[in-house]
Chain A
Amino acid sequence: MSKIKSVEIKIGLEVHCQLTNLKTKLFCSCSSDYREKEPNTLICPICMGMPGTLPVLNEKALEDAIMVAIALNSKISERMLFFRKNYFYPDMPKNFQISQYDKAGGVPLALGGYIQINGKRVRIRRIQLEEDPGKLSYEGTIESSTYTLVDYNRAGISLIEIVTEPDMETPKEARLFLEKLRSILEHLGVSNGSLEGSMRCDANISLRGGKRVEVKNISSFKEVERALNFEITRQKNLIERGIAVGQETRHWDEVRRITISLRTKEEEQDYRYFPEPDLVPVIISKDQIKKIEQSMPELPDERRKRFVEQYHLSPQTAEILTRSKAMADFFEESAKLYDKPREISNWLTGEFLSYLHDKGIEIDELTLSPKHLVDMLKLIDEGIISRKMARSVLQDMLLTGKMPDAIVKEKGLEKILDREYVRKIVEKIFKENPQAVKDAIVDKKAINYLMGQLMKATEGKIDPKMAGEVIRERLSKLSKFATS
């Protein structure tokens, strides 16, 4: 990465998001709740593409997709068409996918639009509605397996495909884009991004205006950054050695963390797109769009602005909090219980975020509720625990899900509030460190050593303010004695 400036990299994404909040599949009435289900139990003649069956569009899926298009500032087509994408593969019961297309007379759900990330616009090229294929499993790897297992429970699940322009310039921007997109979808209540495989993406990347390489099979946001970083290094090495980067499709191997060539431009598949004759054009009226728009919940950008106004957070903090719906929700629930929102946001964007990042999870996957955080903050306010102690309490809460007061009691973390007790310890320290006491009398800065000793002796359970007071009190007595 070092030698190549970020402006020379162009990244575009094709994101597939399942509309996970729908009850049924896109073209039949099978349940779409397929995760953890016995294979091939959520299927019917329609999603199995049996002879003579016909697809019927799930109206709710269309509404959800329209909502996404509105949220992404896209222009919704007045008359959209479904197209068939033809290719032979065992995960496709019909050996074609009902999808949409923006060429050959095709009209997808929506065109144009953008998502704002860190003050920059990433443009959307198109948004389309399509069906998910089934899932293939192998014994071991695809090369070594002697059979393929096919589960069609996923076949026919509603997907929206969001294609961006190549507007991203770093792998980090790609990740931020995906996070923002996920937050938008979650705010809309159309998709739960934390479900396995609910958001998948392909990335297009070109360096220095060179040929475009498509990387397929990226299953999570972390992987996107990794795959793109790998691909940049790979392409950079080729360029530095004077080898031209050819247009091709590559496969991201999550285990080995490398990309592998799948096919070159010459081998690209011809999908023979043509209009789906079993589905009539879908007319989307202005009234319908207006109605959906009016029923739409608050979006991340609006929420961010509100956070700044209502809670007086910095725009940066508000941005970080609203990057995930779960985080923003956690913040607002906490703020209802505790009236120092900046204190809450400090903890969330600090300790919480780094913990979540390490674990690669979302805040709603924790066993921790806003009440946990708020109770902990109240213990600090009451002087029962110090800020430093709170950090260790938080780590315990994250691990065990126990309430903070229980942890404090169990571990005996209460701050020492008994001044007489502290005086005794100070007396002892003074006796053991006569030179340090002498120094402290002459030089006020030398008091820190004594403070350190006191903290050590009390395991940090003492309020630093009280510690300073007691030491200074004792020193002033000694100094009076010395001078007189």
Chain B
Amino acid sequence: MPSYIKLPAYEIIKRIKAQELMAEDYIASLYERIKKVEKDIRAYITLTEDLALKKAREIDKKVKKREKTGRLCGVGIAIKDNICTRGIRTTCASHMLENFVPPYDATVISRIKDEDGVIMGKANMDEFAMGSSTEFSYFGPTHNPWDLERVPGGSSGGSAAAVASGMATLALGSDTGGSIRCPASFCSVVGLKPTYGLVSRFGLIAYANSLEQIGPITKDVRDCALLLSCIASHDPLDNTSVDRPQEDYTKYLIDDIDGMKLGVVKEFFGEGTQDYVEKGVLEAVTNLEELGTDHQEISLKNLQYALPSYYIIAMSEASSNLARYDGLRYGYRIPNKSYDWSTVYSKDRRFGFGFEVKRRIILGTFALSAGYYEEYYLKAQKIRTLIKRDFDIAFKKFDVLIGPTMPILPFKIGEKVQDPLEMYMCDVDSVPANLAGIPSISIPCGFSKGLPIGLQIMAPPFREDLLLRVAFSFQKNFPVSAKLRSYE
């Protein structure tokens, strides 16, 4: 039984379709696993066991009757709790939305249901996706399966921890400034942030609309390609979704990168990058060279301004996006005798939001204020344009760019909570891809002191094929193996 929890999705799907494995048994085994380890890891906010088992039985019936089944036939998926699920509460890990049950599915959820995926539950995250450690959750922090005293990364920490610990076979996360790649790196799984506009954002509760994308968090690169193929499609409900033909990304899983040109981004190895991380990533570069690639260092000058620009844009958008949470139409409302709406709003928002969310709302409000807008928001947008240009130029010379996903190894829970700037610094290598709107993947590339290291690969817009090809070749030839203590 426990062997199912280690299997990648494509293996599970193959067996269910071949009637070698009952979807119901497999899903039940995942919940058994949850019962065993969830108390230590805390990856989920809401579990949907009854719904999942019901869905699994339906799929078993379909398979038995030889009806057409979807590409995710029976596979158990954890959904980050900022992605709306019809009839299942979607909290954004916030007191504000603790009891919010959306009457609609996000487009990606509809796609997953169409493909016969099974929703395991809603995964923990930093409140409103604001954080890099999943410590800022109203429901408490998630623990890293590789070391329970450490953070799983964030903000999609629950999704990554669930996949890493076998409590889900696949997961969806969202990435505004690294929120898929950071926990993928910290939990030694694969996480991909698609090109901006590739995956519909309809139903994703917005943190910073112009930066974020939903993407897969998986055990390996093949699963990543599979899940991406299912969720990437044009959506008329999302005006920023790009109208392009649907693709089957699994066809890019080719073990051949001979002659490919890799740019090693100099700025990703700057001050603040831990030696262990640098060593691990450079080793991966050497490995890729063995596969016939050619690498060179490249400097993207404007990346030094990426982090402040990112935070100004993200917080500005957030200050406006989160204005709707006033307790009036839905969400948290504290009993109030005041008839004055501004007092009612203030009280609801004071108690409904956590500390980090309030910090970002206040900073974003400031950045958009008259007299400061030009100094902060507009300047940040200009830098964003310059960074895009830097990438454009780099991609004329290189097929893909590489570097570490995170400058540091997973840190201890509580270590950085008191120092927001130190926490923000963790995102230094992940935010450039969001500012430029380009696709970026994090894959496991080794361990140091028993803790995972992630390799980040970036490609030009809509060249997810290149990312997957490089990632697949690396994974195939240099598999990262380590024993997860909690598996035993």
Give the interface of A toward B (CB within 8 A): 45, 48-57, 84, 86, 88-90, 93-96, 104-105, 146-148, 150, 270, 272-274, 277-280
Contact = CB atoms under 8 A, between A and B. Distances in A.
A73 B103 CA distance: 45
Contact of A52 (B106, B339, B378): B106
A45 B203 CA distance: 10
Contact of B368 (A51, A52, A105, A274): A274
Contact of B326 (A48, A55, A88, A273): A88
Nearest to B105: A52
B240 interface: yes
A274 B316 contact: yes
B380 to A, nearest CB: 11
A53 B202 contact: yes
Contacts of B351: none
B198 to A, nearest CB: 14
B378 A95 contact: no
B107 to A, nearest CB: 10
A188 to B, nearest CB: 26
A274 B320 contact: yes
A95 B330 CA distance: 13
Nearest to A46: B237
B238 interface: yes
B339 A147 contact: yes
Max count, chain B CB within 10 A of own CB: residue among A53, A96, A146, A280: A53
Nearest to A103: B373
Nearest to A269: B370
B142 to A, nearest CB: 22
A278 B320 CA distance: 12
Nearest to B331: A51
Nearest to B349: A88
Top 8 nearest A-B pairs (CB, nearest first) are A95-B323, A277-B209, A272-B368, A277-B210, A51-B205, A52-B203, A52-B84, A94-B324
B236 interface: yes
A104 B239 contact: no
A147 B97 CA distance: 25
Given A54-B201, A148-B341, A49 B324 contact: yes
A86 B317 contact: no
B205 A55 contact: no
B323 A88 contact: yes
Contact of B317 (A55, A105, A150, A277): A277
Given A86-B323, A272-B319, 17 more contacts: A50-B102, A51-B206, A52-B102, A52-B204, A52-B205, A53-B202, A54-B237, A55-B239, A56-B236, A88-B342, A89-B341, A93-B324, A105-B378, A270-B369, A274-B320, A277-B240, A278-B206
A167 B31 CA distance: 73
Nearest to B341: A90
A55 B201 CA distance: 11
Contacts of A146: 339
A40 to B, nearest CB: 10
B179 to A, nearest CB: 16
B353 interface: no
Max count, chain B CB within 10 A of own CB: residue among A52, A86, A96, A146: A52
A167 to B, nearest CB: 28
A433 B48 CA distance: 109
Interface string B325-343: 0101110000000010110
Max count, chain A CB within 10 A of own CB: residue among B205, B323, B328: B323
Given A51-B90, A93-B324, A278 B368 contact: no
A146 B104 CA distance: 34
A105 B379 CA distance: 12
14 contacts: A51-B102, A51-B205, A52-B83, A52-B106, A52-B203, A53-B203, A88-B342, A89-B341, A148-B341, A270-B369, A272-B368, A272-B370, A274-B317, A279-B240
Interface class of chain B by DSSP: loop
A49 B100 CA distance: 14
Max count, chain B CB within 10 A of own CB: residue among A55, A278, A279: A278
A93 B326 CA distance: 10
A28 to B, nearest CB: 10
B217 interface: no
B365 interface: yes
A342 B209 CA distance: 62
Given A88-B323, A93-B324, A280 B202 contact: no
Contact of B329 (A48, A105, A147, A274): A48
Contacts of A94: 323-324
B92 interface: yes
B26 interface: no
Given A50-B330, A272-B368, A56 B239 contact: yes
B361 to A, nearest CB: 11
Contacts of B44: none
B345 interface: yes
Contacts of A148: 341
Interface in B293-349: 316-317, 319-320, 323-324, 326, 328-330, 339, 341-342, 345
B391 interface: no
A95 B316 contact: no
Contact of A54 (B239, B320, B329, B373): B239
Given A88-B342, A104-B373, A51 B100 contact: yes
B320 A86 contact: yes
Interface in B449-478: none
Given A54-B238, A86-B368, A90-B328, A45 B103 contact: yes
Contacts of A96: 320, 323
B136 interface: no
Contacts of B236: 56
B341 A51 contact: no
B268 interface: no
Contacts of A50: 102, 104, 329-330
Contacts of A273: 368, 373
A279 to B, nearest CB: 5
B205 to A, nearest CB: 4
A95 B204 contact: no
Interface string B369-385: 11001100110000000
A278 B365 contact: no
Contact of B202 (A54, A88, A93, A150): A54
Contact of A51 (B84, B317, B378): B84
Contacts of B329: 48-50, 93
Nearest to A278: B209
A280 B209 CA distance: 11
Contact of B239 (A48, A52, A93, A279): A279
A95 B324 contact: yes
Contacts of A104: 373-374, 378
Contacts of B323: 86, 88, 94-96
A354 B32 CA distance: 84
Nearest to B90: A51
Interface in B74-112: 82-84, 90, 92, 97, 100, 102-104, 106
Contacts of A88: 323, 326, 341-342, 345
A220 B11 CA distance: 70
A213 to B, nearest CB: 21
Contacts of A105: 378
B362 to A, nearest CB: 13
A274 B380 CA distance: 13
Max count, chain B CB within 10 A of own CB: residue among A84, A146, A277: A277
A278 B210 CA distance: 7
B240 A45 contact: no
Given A270-B369, A272-B320, A51 B92 contact: yes
Nearest to B209: A277
Nearest to A146: B339
Given A84-B320, A86-B368, A95-B323, A274 B373 contact: yes
A482 B475 CA distance: 137
Nearest to B84: A52
A299 B323 CA distance: 43
B259 to A, nearest CB: 37
